[in-house]
Amino acid sequence: MTEAIARPQTFESLNPATGDVVGTHPIQTEDEVRAAVARARDEALWWSALGYAQRKEHLNAWKTAITQRLPELAELVHREMGKPVPDAVLEAGLAVDHIAWAAGHAKKVLGRRRVPSGMLMVNQAATVEYKPLGVVGVIGPWNYPVFTPMGSIAYALAAGNAVVFKPSEFTPGVGAWLVQVFQDVVGRPVLQLVTGLGETGNALCRSGVDKLAFTGSTATGKKVMAACAETLTPVVIEAGGKDSVIVDADADVTAAADAALWGACSNAGQTCIGVERVYVHEKVYDEFVSTITAKARGLEASADGKVGPITMPKQLDLIRSHVDDALARGGRAVVGGADAVGDRFVQPTILVDVPEDSLAVQEETFGPTMTIAKVRDMEEAIALTNATRYGLGNTVFSKRNGMAIAARVRSGMSAVNGVISFAGVPSLPFGGVGESGFGRIHGPDGLREFTYPKAIARQRFKPMVNVTTFDRTEKAEKQFTQVLGLLHGRGKKR
Ligand code: NDP
């Protein structure tokens, strides 16, 4: 008889800059995930019954506790996924601002309100409110382990749901920290943690949650959607991107170069809304390339530098393949290049003359790299920007036509004369189109995403013409047709 091979019950998170163990966490089984969801169902009843004002108090207490312990959280983010501590402070700070916004606006956005009932139904008082779904499962990535899942967690909680959160296997410690602080201030497991690898995430998809909010790669997003389809569990998919910066002839070239470099290389390029491609008007192309090149040469990836390590070791091969492919197909590296990809770090790399159908232009690279291409005019820049199956974010630099260009880009979000700015504005919806996913976090749309609309029509007085009865008279039918003609049938005979 063969002995069953014991499955590991724990896993370690590692410091990507050194390989040191940061923490050990349980690999939770399907039964444990289901138990967490069952507990959450009880908590959801308590939490939703509290009402908006009390939930706001609890969420604000959580927000305050996170803010007061920000240095501790930022240090943990730094150790577990590698980003510089000041960047981790920025990330967590923006997340805190979202908790405050969600808590502060939930009642106004979701609470019951009167809506016009229309001329035909004038005897009805119509109201709509947005009710919590119950239990929301949140699966988060590692690249922004505070900000990204918080876009779902804070908004789902503010809407009155309980949440079961599965952080990435690369950042379980950050997830555990956030949940523990919530438990400390609220005192009840309205927000719970489950840890493990992909299988644990898969178990959460099948656990009977009322909605699953996933942030991660497009490939995993498809698996999540397929698993959720089995139980008709609705999903939010926040997936990858291939965002561009468009630089017009009248742009502030220095500001555009600064923004493009930050957008491409901060967080070591591991940003879903990071800059991967740049399209520059031919009139300012040379100036743009020389400005950004000079600036990038001072930037170095290192353990304590402004650009940290690549968090997932397997990503290094993918980044290398994109750079190699670009160079093999006639591209040139004006900064970095083939040797820029090391064992843990990738040095900033700027590629020019790269064919538009190459990997570095078409696929998400997720490293501190960018391609820069010269365009004749903004028509070409928009057409090339839109020639992707992704559609997450984008940036436009132009003094006169920023809004007009941004409006024609097929993406969920655009920043004009700034970079990534939309993510920090809590009232703006965040999400993509195409293979970047669907559904929204942040803003009023982000609150409504974790609710269902409840419509009520209350009769205020008897209708003048009652057409919803079997006792309906011919006269009533005639009157109805006459009213309809007055309301909608006037104008040129067609
Ligand atoms: P992955 O898709 O690898 O993982 C995302 C999450 O899904 C992790 O928690 C992972 O768990 C989990 N998971 C893996 N397999 C399964 C499965 N079969 N069923 C359920 N869950 C599963 O993404 P990354 O963590 O690598 O994140 C980077 C990606 O996220 C990039 O593509 C980036 O563009 C995107 N992203 C999108 C954002 C957006 O808002 N649109 C924001 C931030 C990132 P485990 O880690 O344990 O395997």
Which of 201-215, 256-270, 403-417, 457-471 shows the lowest mean pLDDT across its residues? 457-471
- Domain range for 55 is 10-239+442-452
The answer on 217 and 305 residing in a single domain is no
The CATH number covering residue 421 comes to 3.40.309.10
Q: Is residue 49 scored above 80 in pLDDT?
A: yes
The answer on 291 and 181 residing in a single domain is no
Pocket test for ligand 1, best of 33, 220, 224, 272 (most atoms within 8 A of CB): 220
Rounded distance from Cα 239 to ligand 1 centre (Å): 8
The answer on 386 and 267 residing in a single domain is yes
Specify the ligand 1 atom closest to the Cα of 220.
2
Structure tokens at 24: 């050990």
The CATH number covering residue 228 comes to 3.40.605.10
Q: What residues act catalytically?
A: 238, 272
What does the radius of gyration of the chain's CA atoms come to, in whole angstroms? 26
**Structural domain count of the chain:** 2
Q: 117 in a domain, yes or no?
A: yes
Between the alpha carbon of residue 12 and those of residues 8, 19, 229, the distances in Å are 11, 11, 31
The answer on 274 and 186 residing in a single domain is no
Going across the sheet that includes 162-166, the strands are 191-193, 162-166, 135-139, 211-215, 235-238, 437-438
Pocket test for ligand 1, best of 14, 83, 139 (most atoms within 8 A of CB): 139
The answer on 256 and 122 residing in a single domain is no
pLDDT per residue as tens digits for the range 133-145: 999 999 999 999 9
The answer on 341 and 403 residing in a single domain is yes
Rounded distance from Cα 163 to ligand 1 centre (Å): 18
pLDDT per residue as tens digits for the range 212-253: 999 999 999 999 999 999 999 999 999 999 999 999 999 999
pLDDT for position 3? 53
pLDDT for position 494? 83
The answer on 253 and 195 residing in a single domain is no
142 lines ligand 1 (CB under 6 A): yes
Q: 432 in a domain, yes or no?
A: no
The answer on 260 and 213 residing in a single domain is no
Specify the ligand 1 atom closest to the Cα of 392.
41
Q: 457 in a domain, yes or no?
A: no
Specify the ligand 1 atom closest to the Cα of 142.
25
Indicate yes or no: pTM above 0.85: yes
224 lines ligand 1 (CB under 6 A): yes
Q: 386 in a domain, yes or no?
A: yes
Q: 468 in a domain, yes or no?
A: no
pLDDT for position 384? 98
pLDDT per residue as tens digits for the range 436-486: 999 999 999 999 999 999 999 999 999 988 999 999 999 999 999 999 999
Question: Using alpha carbons only, what angle is made at residue 181 by residues 180 and 185, rounded to the nearest 5 degrees?
Answer: 115
94 lines ligand 1 (CB under 6 A): no
411 lines ligand 1 (CB under 6 A): no
Specify the ligand 1 atom closest to the Cα of 144.
43
Specify the ligand 1 atom closest to the Cα of 221.
2
Whole-number average pLDDT of the chain: 96
- For residues 77 and 92, the answer to whether their CB atoms sit within 8 Å is yes
Q: Which residues pair with 311 in a beta bridge?
A: none
pLDDT for position 71? 97
pLDDT per residue as tens digits for the range 59-101: 999 999 999 999 999 999 999 999 999 999 999 999 999 999 9
The answer on 248 and 235 residing in a single domain is no
Q: For residue 7, name the pLDDT band (cuts at 50, 70, 90).
A: confident
The answer on 363 and 227 residing in a single domain is no
Q: 230 in a domain, yes or no?
A: yes
Q: 338 in a domain, yes or no?
A: yes
Rounded distance from Cα 215 to ligand 1 centre (Å): 6
Contact residues for 188 (Cβ-Cβ < 8 A; gap 6+) = 43, 46, 47
272 lines ligand 1 (CB under 6 A): yes
The answer on 272 and 343 residing in a single domain is yes
Strand pairing category for 162-166 and 191-193: parallel
Q: 475 in a domain, yes or no?
A: no
Q: Which residue, by CA, sits nearest to atom 30 of ligand 1? A: 216
pLDDT for position 168? 97
The answer on 249 and 234 residing in a single domain is no
